[in-house]
Amino acid sequence: MKTTKLILILILFSTSLFAENDSELWLRKKATTQVNIQCSKSSPTIDIAINELKNSWQGEDGANIELKIIKDKQLKADGFRLSRTGIQAKTDAGLLYGVFEILRRQQTGGSITGDIVNPSYDLRLLNHWDNLNGSVERGYAGRSIFWRGIDSLEVTSGDLNLWKEYARANASVGINATVLNNVNASPSVLTTPVLERAKAVADVLRPYGIKTYLAVNFASPEVIGGLETADPFDPAVKAWWKEKVKEIYTLIPDFGGFLVKANSEGQPGPQNFGRNHADGANMMAEALEPYNGIVMWRAFVYDPSDEDRAKQAYNEFMPLDGQFHDNVIIQVKNGPIDFQPREPFSPLFGAMKKTTVMPELQVTMEYLGQSVHLVFLATMWEEFLKSETWQEGAGSTVARCTDGSIFNQKYSAIAGVANIGLDANWCGHDFAQANWYAFGRQAWDHSISSAQIADEWLKLTFGPQNIDKETSSYDLEWNLSFLQPVKQMMLNSHEATVNYMMPLGLHHIFSAHAHYGPGPWWAPRGMRADWTPPYYHQADSLGIGFDRTASGSDAISQYHEPLAGQLADLNTCPEVYLLWFHHVSWDHKMKNNRTLWNELCYRYDEGVKQVREFQQVWDKAERFVDAERFAAVQHKLTEQGMNAQEWKDACLLYFQQFSKQPIPYELERPLFNLDELLERDRQRVRRSR
């Protein structure tokens, strides 16, 4: 009897049903066998590579593996060549990436076939919107891992350990660069004590192949430099930046460069001095150039003018194409507005042919349910990267327009706004870790499928620990009853959120500035129109949607033919973007023959049903997940279900005032009434003030 109990306990242990420390992210598997490693070179990076192999090896027991630096024209700087007997790379970092790739394949069932693996982008960056006081703008996972206040800059052993774990996680998915602070940058970031802390971070990240960058405030020469101007043409200003850059490189010899948000949402920039974006960016680029540093200059600009917000970045940057130095990269958000649940790609991709352009994605889910909703972003990014721009004929996808394969550019880069904070699980929601993982994997290989990423991440993060032959039936069951349904849930999750928040091309209909709950009505008196939902949905008695055709704002003309023509025609515009580009009558016949109003109702209803199904999927998965993570995700899914209902009811009841049509009777009726929802919203807005 006693022995049976003991065996049972051992089995339970071996199948990982006990609470796990989810701070280990997707790196929780420990070695099950031994490996012998040869390498004729030694360096901090190679030492890390060797340790990783030893600590997580799951291959043949006693295998011999050689790590070797080689010269090979087929390999990019970070690329590597894998074989059963070893890894070859041009750089130490390449060897480290190769090690993580072998380990991933061992743990997820991939094969090792002597292939060459090169990254899609040279620079694969995280952007942290972390403030020096420790808060994180649009951060939903606790306070900053880098900063805790300007009076608390000393580096503790806790900091060093945390930064090392962070670096390891990034390296494991190929992320090789990070911007330590918010693009709404405090000028203080360039003061010496703060730079010294940045140096401490850089020292920890370096052996993991990660370069450090800073976001800088354009007015820094005035604010902390004591100059009377920050005019980029002023010799004293130029000299100030050169001196500052020199100081930074003395502390951080491999410093990457600057990220700049200028003349956007109140941030200072060259336009304050009658100069343009190229003048500002080039001045900084000149200071960084001797050190091979770069400037990532953001194109996220819009004014409260009469011009459609979606057109403004293109209007402002296209005339400057060709005027930027070759160490300037224009960083463009995936869509023309602002990380909405679904946007068409920004027309700047592929259009700026003489300037390097990089995509900016948002890993933190400001507009997608933050750290409450389960939304796997890889499908959205895949859709974006594979979007056809037509700029250089068929095959000019956003990915190819930015990775250097179409345009002759010195660098290729992609950035993701991080979702990382001090929370024990780093990202606030256990499944939000998958988005950090996915960003790295897609930045490394933009052709990888979302399904593969979800598959890998689930196996690594929730897969049974230490499966051996005797427990392999558990393995099979895990595959069928956990992996397959949960993966499908992840793959459907973005579309579900679009359905219950903003289907058919609706966008920016959030309440207030928290960007969480529904607020299609939200338009306080005196508020800038382009910060209010009615500006975006334009609902009236005739229909709904933003007319961006030639009879409206004509934003469609910023796209290349034949795409522009396709978008302009109501009959060929993809329905997922319908209300983004057209003001459409409530009775418009959709492809499935429903009227627009009915289809809108169906989509909202579908979104709610999808989340309810996700709850079922997760509940059925209980026996495969440790209690702590199971309960945390279950709890969040319940809240997501309630939020989805609120979104559906709020949007349908509000828009119904314009459509004056019933919600199709076969659909579930709203659970809230509009007055109740408006009152809840008022209270929420009041509380957030």
Least distance to ligand GCV, CB of residue 223, Å:
18
Least distance to ligand GCV, CB of residue 259, Å:
10
Write out the residues near ligand GCV by the rule CB under 6 A. 129, 137-138, 183-184, 261, 265, 300, 338, 366
Q: Can you say whether the dihedral through the CA atoms of 23, 28, 34, 38 is positive or negative?
A: negative
Under 8 Å between Cβ of 264 and 248: no
331, containing H or E segment? strand 328-333
Q: Which of 226, 225, 252 minimizes the C-alpha distance to 241?
A: 225
Of 510 and 647, which CB lies nearer to ligand GCV in the complex structure? Answer: 510
Instruction: Write down the catalytic residue from 60, 61, 72, 265.
Output: 265
Q: Which of 145, 120, 129 minimizes the C-alpha distance to 417?
A: 129
Encode burial over 554-591: b for 16+ CB neighbours within 10 A, e otherwise.
Answer: ebbbbbbeebbeebbeeeebeeebbbbbbbbbbebebe
Residue with the two structure tokens 């200072």:
268
Least distance to ligand GCV, CB of residue 339, Å:
7
Structure tokens at 672: 């809230």
How far apart, in whole angstroms, are the C-alpha atoms of residue 27 and residue 51?
Answer: 13
Q: Which of 162, 175, 139, 101 minimizes the C-alpha distance to 439?
A: 175
- Catalytic, 338? Answer yes
Of 138 and 636, which CB lies nearer to ligand GCV in the complex structure? Answer: 138
Is residue 562 reached through a cis peptide bond, with omega within 30 degrees of 0 on the bond before it? yes
- Catalytic, 222? Answer no
DSSP state of 348: T
Of 53 and 368, which CB lies nearer to ligand GCV in the complex structure? Answer: 368
Least distance to ligand GCV, CB of residue 311, Å:
17
Of 360 and 423, which CB lies nearer to ligand GCV in the complex structure? Answer: 360
396 burial class (0-12, 13-18, 19+ CB within 10 angstroms)?
A: buried
Of 65 and 313, which CB lies nearer to ligand GCV in the complex structure? Answer: 313
Of 519 and 543, which CB lies nearer to ligand GCV in the complex structure? Answer: 519
Instruction: Write down the catalytic residue from 22, 222, 338, 530.
Output: 338
Query: Can you name the residues that pair with 130 across neighbouring β-strands?
Result: 136
> What distances in angstroms separate CA 17 from CA 9, 30, 45, 650, one per listed residue?
11, 16, 34, 40
How far apart, in whole angstroms, are the C-alpha atoms of residue 329 and residue 326?
Answer: 8
Least distance to ligand GCV, CB of residue 196, Å:
25
Least distance to ligand GCV, CB of residue 183, Å:
5
> What distances in angstroms separate CA 175 from CA 141, 399, 416, 485, one per listed residue?
20, 17, 10, 29
Of 183 and 375, which CB lies nearer to ligand GCV in the complex structure? Answer: 183
> What distances in angstroms separate CA 622 from CA 146, 609, 629, 634, one per listed residue?
35, 21, 10, 9
543, containing H or E segment? strand 543-544
Least distance to ligand GCV, CB of residue 317, Å:
15
Helix and strand numbers (H, E) in the chain are: 21, 15
- Give one DSSP letter per residue of 559-581, joined into a string: SPTTHHHHHHSTTTS-GGGHHHH
Number of Cβ within 10 Å of residue 36's Cβ equals 11
Instruction: Write down the catalytic residue from 366, 547, 599, 649.
Output: 366
- Catalytic, 307? Answer no
Of 265 and 619, which CB lies nearer to ligand GCV in the complex structure? Answer: 265
Give φ, ψ of 643 to 5 degrees: -60, -40
Least distance to ligand GCV, CB of residue 265, Å:
6
Least distance to ligand GCV, CB of residue 650, Å:
21
Structure tokens at 131: 């403030």
Of 57 and 439, which CB lies nearer to ligand GCV in the complex structure? Answer: 439
Q: Which residue numbers are catalytic?
A: 265, 338, 366
